[in-house]
Each structure stands twice: as structure tokens, then as C-alpha cells.
């Protein structure tokens, strides 16, 4: 139990330290949480495919693995194209990404958020941990 609590505290600290760094770059906490939500949804979709063999809810070419391999302006452009395409879907995905826009336009900071998300397995994480982050 102590290990789980330590993990929760460590992850929460990591998420909010990054939020503070981004706030120093003019990215507000609300924008950060929104972007975090969009990215976490993509990551958990990928985990669902990997762990449970489910079909991805995200169109090919716009999935998590299409983002994590990119850097620089290519990353920003792909993320923006992904948000646009997902916001235009006529299903639950479209609802989740309604009017989605990238608020982390500096590639280095977008990469930091993506890297932090990619280091964890979010789908199997306890709901209390995710709740503590938000």
C-alpha cells in the first residue's frame, strides 16, 4: 500500500511540475489539463490495443504511436492534424475532441508532455491516481 501511495505521489508531482514549467511559458493550467486529457485518451487507446487486442477507436495515422516517434515542428503539425481529424468524427471520439485545439505550440514542451505520458501505463492505473492528478 505504501508503494502505491508513493507511486501516486511521485506521478502527481511529475505531472504538476510539468504544469508549472508550462505555466512559465504562458500555458495555463486549464489548457494543460485539456491537452493532457486529449493525449491521455490517445495513450490509453493504444494501451487498450496492446494489452487487450481491441481495435483502436482512433483512425490509422492519427494514433498514439504516430505521435511519439516525432519531434519538432513535425510533432506539432501531426498533433494539430490529429486534433482536427478527431474533432470531425461523427461518434464518441468527435464528442470528446469537440473544438479541440493545440495549446502547447512549442515542440519541446509538447514532446515533454508526450514523453511523460508515454512513461506510464495509464489504462491499468488505479482511478484514485488519475483523480489525484486532476
Q: Which domains are seen in the chain, by residue range?
A: 2-133 (1.20.1260.30)
pTM score above 0.85: yes
Categorise residue 24: left if φ over 0, alpha if ψ from -120 to 50, beta otherwise: alpha
Examine the pLDDT at 41 and tell me if it is beyond 70: yes
pLDDT single digits (tens) 77-133? 999 999 999 999 999 999 999 999 999 999 999 999 999 999 999 888 877 666 766
DSSP 26: T
pLDDT digits 0-9 by tens, 12-23: 888 888 889 899
pLDDT tier for residue 6 given thresholds of 50, 70 and 90: low
Is residue 102 within 8 Å of residue 35, measured between CB atoms? yes
CB-count burial class (<10 Å; 0-12, 13-18, 19+) for 60: exposed
Amino acid at each position: 500500500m505504501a508503494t502505491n501511495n508513493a507511486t501516486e505521489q511521485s506521478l502527481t508531482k511529475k505531472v504538476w511540475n510539468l504544469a508549472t514549467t508550462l505555466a512559465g511559458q504562458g500555458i495555463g493550467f486549464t489548457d494543460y489539463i485539456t491537452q493532457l486529457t486529449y493525449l491521455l485518451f490517445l495513450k490509453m487507446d493504444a494501451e487498450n490495443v496492446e494489452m487487450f487486442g481491441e481495435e483502436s477507436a482512433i483512425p490509422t495515422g492519427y494514433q498514439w504511436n504516430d505521435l511519439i516517434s516525432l519531434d519538432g515542428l513535425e510533432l506539432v503539425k501531426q498533433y494539430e492534424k490529429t486534433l482536427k481529424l478527431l474533432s470531425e468524427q461523427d461518434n464518441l471520439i468527435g464528442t470528446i475532441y469537440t473544438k479541440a485545439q493545440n495549446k502547447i505550440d512549442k515542440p519541446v514542451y509538447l514532446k515533454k508532455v508526450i514523453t511523460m505520458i508515454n512513461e506510464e501505463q495509464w489504462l491499468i492505473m488505479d482511478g484514485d491516481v488519475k483523480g489525484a492528478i486532476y
